[in-house]
Amino acid sequence: MKKIRLFCLVTGMLIVLSACNSEKANTLPEKKPEQFNFHIKYGIGGKNEVDNFQHKIVKDLIADGVATAENFSFTEEEMESIYRELREANVLEDKDLIKKDNCHQTPYSSYYLKVQIDGKEKEYEWSDENCSMTRDAEELTDVVGYIRDIVVKTDAYKRLPAASGGYD
């Protein structure tokens, strides 16, 4: 009887522990592959864009529409660092981005991420409309912020007009 109880206890603990460690292994190569592109949208209405497929950035000017910089490209070093961030976020794996929350805020930022790596493609859409986000949504939002921080330091972005007005 003791052996059966011990067996049940050990089996139960193994099930619980395996459920706690359910994150999928990262299948992305450590080194950035040749075929690597991404497209992000962010901000109120998702009007800001960084489109590495089309080599352009779009800036939300709020009251004055949007401004676009064509022929935009990242340096190889920037692409390497962006790839590392996306790899760390295990971006090709399924994500839980919707938090069931009764709290809503306005205005809120919308996000979009499309990534293509070695012929594999994944797209995500989420927002911060709920007062809190899932861990996956926070992680992808951090990646979008990382890319945005690189873009706003570029000469191409600095040449775009300043935004005017604001969101209520």
**For 1-15, how does the pLDDT look when each residue is reduced to its tens digit (9 = 90+)?**
555 554 545 455 555
Provide the 10 A C-beta neighbour count for residue 164: 9
Tell me how far apart the alpha carbons of residues 11 and 27 are, in angstroms, rounded to a whole number. 29
pLDDT exceeds cutoff 90 at 103: no
Q: How many domains does the chain have?
A: 1
pLDDT exceeds cutoff 60 at 17: no
Name the residue with higher pLDDT: 17 or 134.
Answer: 134
Full-model pTM: 0.82
Tell me how far apart the alpha carbons of residues 33 and 49 are, in angstroms, rounded to a whole number. 23
Q: Is residue 168 part of a domain?
A: no
Q: 86 is written with which tokens?
A: 């996306």
Q: Is residue 24 part of a domain?
A: no
Cα of 11 vs its chain's centroid, Å: 37
pLDDT in tens, 146-160: 999 999 999 999 999
Average pLDDT over every residue of 23-27: 69
Domain region containing 76 = 29-158
Q: Is residue 166 part of a domain?
A: no
Name the residue with higher pLDDT: 15 or 143.
Answer: 143
pLDDT of residue 99: 80
Tell me how far apart the alpha carbons of residues 111 and 125 are, in angstroms, rounded to a whole number. 6
pLDDT of residue 15: 53
Q: Is residue 19 part of a domain?
A: no
Q: Is residue 58 part of a domain?
A: yes
Tell me the CATH number at 92.
Answer: 3.30.1560
